[in-house]
Amino acid sequence: MKSVTGGSYTTPTGSSRKDWYQVEANGKKGYVAAYYVDVTSDNPSPSQPSGFHAESFSGWVGPEIGVALRNSPKHSDRSGLAEPYKKTLHFDGWKYGESVTDIWTGKSDALWYRYWSNGKAYWVPSAYIFGYPKSKPPIQPGGNPGGGTTSKPGHVNDKVGGVPLRLRSGPYLSKSIIGKLSKGTNLTILEQVSGQAYEPGNRTNWYKVKVNGKTGYVAAYYVSEGSSNGGGNNGGNNNYLNSLASWSDWNWEDSINSAADFNYIKNNPSSDIGKLYRDLSNDLFGRYFPPTGAYISDDYKRATGLNSYHGAIDIASPLGTNVKSLVEGEIVFTNPSYFGVVSIKDKHGRYHIYKHLDSVNVFVGQQVKKGDIVGKTGGRGNSRYSFAAHLHYEVTRAPYYKYGAAQTPSVLASKQGIRERNFNPIKTYWKLRRGS
């Protein structure tokens, strides 16, 4: 059996796929839609590895940077291949190997799962997979059974607006509603499944969840990982947005233009500006990463030794983290290889620039919605790894929509030059939250 890409077909859940298998069965060779094939092994061997336990099960990739495929159950034995974040993988068994720290529980996990790709067996650590064998082996030899990652906390995010999220009896819009979940409701994510397509974006990812004693299915777009803490995107009210309306331009700039300000934001997440930053990060990445580079920053000038200030904010995030559009608009410029740039024009004529992306998922002329993935974080400059992985988020005016203030480097030499060319990115996000 061999994996190939072919024509599109529609699954019973309404999703469109192009994955096929070239197979041989009953003396005939042909092609079948991969959705209808349960893979246990592309090339079963008459002798299994020592300590191998044959068992079919599935799980999805947990790290946002994806998971590297290993040639053996050893963390350093990388094959050079990888599978992306949240892809569901099918395994044909497990064995113990080198211990790896579980990304959800923090426990030391020695379980490894065997995964087949293009006729070759690879290994991935249980610690990076959201799923577990049905036999529930202990995560360490001789330990207590059932220690793997099969559930994690989540909550209904603010994308639902004022409309409760429907808890359904199956991952289909036609299935009966067994509950209604308001914004901020905490729940337990049991597994990710594919189901019927829903808006926005014709998505097909659903979560099987447990909440208030009921088990059902919800559209995954409206659920974020982690428990609600009662603030911002995590389920609280938006009164802090109104309180920030009294801030002057000086307040906005002075509150975010130094490392000291950012330390305050990190240490005071319940402050109004702390809540705004948390919401910004959640909207950009689907989770919180603290700010690391300030706007019009004296610290930036001192740290770099350059005669320039910073026309944006920086947010450090792991290499390969998905970056989402903050606005609905049109892609007006991309440069995947030089500084990893995506520029989006919003309905107010502002240009939202995302820089240092490792990869770009959009094209010029494409219309995007808020929440659409535009690329993955990286450290691109003149080369792929010019910087540590982070996102540079900048908002500018025409005609500087390609590279922002840096399009004319001399502009960066003065704070006023940046003010005349750019918009304050944090205040712009605040305006977006208020619909302006």
CATH at 261: 2.70.70.10
pLDDT at residue 107 in the model? 77
- Residue 214 covered by a domain: yes
Residues comprising the chain, all counted = 436
User: Cβ distance 23 to 32 under 8 Å?
Assistant: yes
When pLDDT is cut at 50, 70 and 90, the band that residue 305 belongs to is low
**CB atoms near residue 230 (< 10 Å):** 11
Q: Are residues 59 and 125 in the same domain?
A: yes
CATH number at residue 66: 2.30.30.40
Number of structural domains, the chain?
Answer: 3
Q: Are residues 171 and 88 in the same domain?
A: no
pLDDT in tens, 130-162: 888 888 888 888 765 555 555 677 888 878 776
Tell which of 97, 130, 163 closes a domain. 130
When pLDDT is cut at 50, 70 and 90, the band that residue 85 belongs to is confident
CA atoms within 13 A on the CB side of 258: 7
Q: Are residues 272 and 399 in the same domain?
A: yes
- Residue 6 covered by a domain: no
Q: Are residues 188 and 124 in the same domain?
A: no
Among the listed ranges 140-144, 292-296, 421-425, which one has the minimum average pLDDT value? 140-144
Q: Are residues 193 and 268 in the same domain?
A: no
- Residue 10 covered by a domain: no
Tell which of 171, 196, 225 closes a domain. 225
Phi and psi (nearest 5°) for 38?
-95, 110
User: Six-digit token pair at 415?
Assistant: 């704070």
Over residues 2-31, the mean pLDDT reads: 73
Q: Are residues 217 and 353 in the same domain?
A: no
Over residues 34-57, the mean pLDDT reads: 67
Strand partners, 68: 82
- Residue 78 covered by a domain: yes
Q: Are residues 100 and 158 in the same domain?
A: no
Over residues 210-224, the mean pLDDT reads: 88
pLDDT at residue 256 in the model? 72
**Residue 173 pLDDT > 60:** yes
User: Six-digit token pair at 338?
Assistant: 């030089």
**Residue 336 pLDDT > 70:** yes
Among the listed ranges 67-76, 121-130, 223-232, which one has the minimum average pLDDT value? 223-232
- Residue 2 covered by a domain: no
When pLDDT is cut at 50, 70 and 90, the band that residue 420 belongs to is confident
Q: Are residues 86 and 158 in the same domain?
A: no
Over residues 156-176, the mean pLDDT reads: 86
Q: What is the DSSP letter of 419?
A: H
User: Six-digit token pair at 167?
Assistant: 């808890």
**CB atoms near residue 5 (< 10 Å):** 9
Q: Are residues 216 and 248 in the same domain?
A: no
When pLDDT is cut at 50, 70 and 90, the band that residue 251 belongs to is confident
Domain residues for 425? Answer: 238-433
DSSP secondary structure letters along 253-303: HHTSSSHHHHHHHHH-TTSHHHHHHHHHHHHHHSS---EEE-TT-HHHHHH
Tell which of 162, 196, 225 closes a domain. 225
Using the Cα atoms of residue 402, residue 378, residue 122 and residue 151 in order, give the sign of their dihedral. Answer: negative
- Residue 24 covered by a domain: no
- Residue 20 covered by a domain: no
Among the listed ranges 180-189, 226-235, 293-302, which one has the minimum average pLDDT value? 226-235
User: Cβ distance 153 to 225 under 8 Å?
Assistant: yes
**128, containing H or E segment:** none
**Residue 250 pLDDT > 80:** no
pLDDT, the chain, mean: 82
- Residue 376 covered by a domain: yes
**Residue 426 pLDDT > 80:** yes
Q: Are residues 377 and 300 in the same domain?
A: yes
Amino acid at 67: V
User: Six-digit token pair at 152?
Assistant: 């994690």
Q: Are residues 368 and 253 in the same domain?
A: yes
User: Six-digit token pair at 370?
Assistant: 């808020």
Q: Are residues 290 and 156 in the same domain?
A: no
Q: What is the DSSP letter of 144?
A: -
